[in-house]
Amino acid sequence: MPRLEQVVGPEPLLLDSIAQVNQVFTEAFTDRYQRDGLSGVRVPPLNPAIWRFAIAAAGAGAMQWRDGSGQVIAFNLAHCCGSEGWMGPLAVRPGRQGRGIGSQIVEAGIRWLQESGARVIGLETMPRTVENIGFYSRLGFRPGYLTVSLTRELEHLPSGAEGAGLFSVGESASALSACRNLSDRVMPGLDFSREISLTREQRLGDTSLLPGPDGLAGFALWHSASLAEGKPDDEIRVLKLVVKDQTSFRAVIHAVEAAGWAHGARRVSVRCQTGFRDTYGALLELGYRVHWTDLRMTLDGTELAPRNGAVVFSNWEI
């Protein structure tokens, strides 16, 4: 086998590739978990609605590679949220790994994010997968904090969430610009407007707002559409969360719980970047339980830190 295989790409990853890309996704991640000793795990295909969202959110950062016979053998979705750039999901078809294709797709993602103006470029990977950590490290990424996914079962509307107002971005252009202004204020250049608008347009969820005395104090973008194909929509997942301080953090979590409950969801899931130690502690105090871990890695170890006690959670996984 040649070490460096000839592949066609990057090409734009368009909606008509979803079935093929989903196949590469499920095969590559199932194989990965099996090699990590989780022999019974079968990673299901992702909900096509989630692919449509991720492809639209990534725009020209959604890329695929084909072999000589036209089969999709690799893909990478690079997302630029203003100053923040991240990649995922990305994978190479199992029979084609170890020949340099993975390096090509990650380098293409880095180039696209740099050209798009991202100041931090990162990704998240499985902490137990030493090959992935080694692979990304050779490409210039450095490990940071764990991202811990925490979930809370909603058997009833939690205390604290009863008084939370159900304010959401809805169709309001001024609410969208308030979210953009708050993000930019706490982390200059950060912009989640595209994800907020697409979520609403594609009816995948909404963005809960926390009004404050001097304007917007926080918001959380969440999806209620299930991640895996054919699974019930009984969980809401927070994708992005921006608050100006710790007090607003608890309040915005309650606003998400209230929105989830009203929506019929019975579980809330939050991906907590554990660099925010107090926030992690607050989630545990609120009754959240640890569900999953990912390792955050950034190019050259560069990170953006929010200003003055603000908190920013951004999902660097689909």
Ligand X SMILES: CC(C)(COP(=O)(O)OP(=O)(O)OC[C@H]1O[C@@H](n2cnc3c(N)ncnc32)[C@H](O)[C@@H]1OP(=O)(O)O)[C@@H](O)C(=O)NCCC(=O)NCCS
Rg (CA), the chain: 19
| Cβ 166 to ligand X shortest distance, Å | 35
Q: Which of residues 86-125 bind ligand X (CB under 6 A)?
A: 90-92, 97-103, 123, 125
Whose Cβ is closer to ligand X: residue 29's or residue 222's? 29
Identify which of residues 52 and 99 has a Cβ nearer to ligand X in the complex.
99
Least Cβ distance, residue 96 to ligand X (angstroms): 7
Q: Per-residue string for binding with ligand X, 132-161, x by CB under 6 A?
A: x-xx--x-----------------------
223 strand-pairing partners: 205, 237
Of residues 218-237, which lie at the interface with ligand X (CB under 6 A)? none
Binding span for ligand X by CB under 6 A among 24-32, 109-117, 244-252, 279-287 = 24-32
Cis peptide before 89 (omega within 30 of 0): yes
The tokens describing 185, both together, are 């204020």
37 is an interface residue for ligand X by CB under 6 A = no
Provide the minimum distance between the beta carbon of 75 and ligand X in the complex, in angstroms, as a whole number: 9
The enclosing H or E element of 314 equals: strand 311-314
Give whichever of 23 and 103 is closer to ligand X, judged by the CB atom: 103
Q: Is 293 in the site for ligand X (CB under 6 A)?
A: no
**Residue 29 in the binding site for ligand X (CB under 6 A):** yes
Q: Is 263 in the site for ligand X (CB under 6 A)?
A: no
Question: Quick check: bond before 10 cis, omega within 30?
Answer: yes
Structure tokens at 311: 């908190």
What distance in Å separates the CA atoms of residue 136 and residue 240, rounded to the nearest whole number? 24
* Tokens linked to 289: 């339980």
Dist CA 75 CA 14 (whole Å): 11
Considering only residues 18, 28, 209, 318, which one is a binding residue for ligand X as defined by CB under 6 A? 28
Nearer to ligand X, 8 or 166 (CB): 8
Closer residue to ligand X in complex, CB, 56/133: 133
Using the rule CB under 6 A, is 131 a contact of ligand X?
yes
**Side chain identity at residue 219, one-letter code:** F
Smallest gap from Cβ 99 to ligand X, in A, equals: 5
- Per CB under 6 A, 66 contacts ligand X: no
Contact status: 32 vs ligand X (CB under 6 A)? yes
Joined tokens for residue 14:
């368009």
The values of phi and psi at residue 315, to 5°, are -70, 120
- Report the b/e string of 139-169 with b at 16+ CB within 10 A: eebeebbbbbbbbbebeeebeebeebeebbb
Burial (CB count within 10 angstroms: exposed 0-12, middle 13-18, buried 19+), residue 178 = middle
Binding site for ligand X (CB under 6 A): 28-29, 32, 90-92, 97-103, 123, 125, 130-132, 134-135, 138
